[in-house]
Structure 1
């Protein structure tokens, strides 16, 4: 299979372009980057459903503390996700932090 060649972008060099800050949909902090989170996980039928942009710490923590089944059945909106009992301690902590990345993984079973 042939490799695709990337075309150079038009405009100023990337080093001179300032990254626009965005807001996380869960913790509402200003962050440099977000990722798309399906409010109803794709595995549970939410492939074309609503999404929200989350920072990496929030996205990792949502999937760390809540199962896909719980997300689909109990927390299908941002408001419900913010009110999730399992995320309250995390949300109180992250709102005071300036971190962009965290590592939190589920324990091996």
Structure 2
């Protein structure tokens, strides 16, 4: 069974284009600091921190404090609820399209 709350949390976290861009930047590196994420983003450090908080609460990233800096890395298993949801509906649509293909073959001599 698909856990709806987890799927909703991940979808909400990734629905925001800025937050999705931050996630993608983190995913493209092994680990990145808040300062590095802010640099060149056109977004304030406070806004970046809020987006990171949402990503962390959704289980998509983890943080590692080091001195005065905090580093973030992607938590790949955080995408599992979304993957499970998409897999479920992938099977659903493959079956429907298979049935449609059979029906169309039956009606077209």
Alignment TM class, shorter chain as reference: under 0.3
Could you state the TM-score of these two structures normalised by the residue count of structure 2? 0.25
Compare CA radii of gyration and give the structure with the larger one.
Answer: 2
Q: Which has the higher helix share?
A: 2
